[in-house]
Amino acid sequence: MGTRLQTYEAPGITVTFDPTVCIHSAVCVRGLPRVFDVKRKRWIQLEHDTAERIAEQVARCPSGALQVVPPAVRRDTP
């Protein structure tokens, strides 16, 4: 059985992490160490930076293990 996809949410951004894809390059940790810290139990804490900066850092993930989830399109608008 594989490891589950992890989801982290904060106002303005949702990030997923797939540990089965991660190559442990530490690009995320070096880029935004306050957000990505593997020494913490909840290792991604989005509240430590802006959604824009986090999205930019996630885009640098070489394996694609980190992804920004696009905001859902509201279906209740006319």
**Which of 4, 2, 8 minimizes the C-alpha distance to 67?**
8
In angstroms, rounded to a whole number, what is the distance separating the alpha carbons of residues 49 and 64? 20
User: Helix, strand or coil for residue 36?
Assistant: strand
Identify the pLDDT of residue 72. Answer: 66
pLDDT tens-digit profile of 11-62?
999 999 999 999 999 999 999 999 999 999 999 999 999 999 999 999 999 9
**Which of 32, 57, 59, 56 minimizes the C-alpha distance to 45?**
32
Identify the pLDDT of residue 73. Answer: 47
Question: How is the beta sheet containing 6-10 ordered, strand by strand?
Answer: 6-10, 13-17, 66-68
pLDDT at 78 over 60: no
Identify the pLDDT of residue 71. Answer: 75
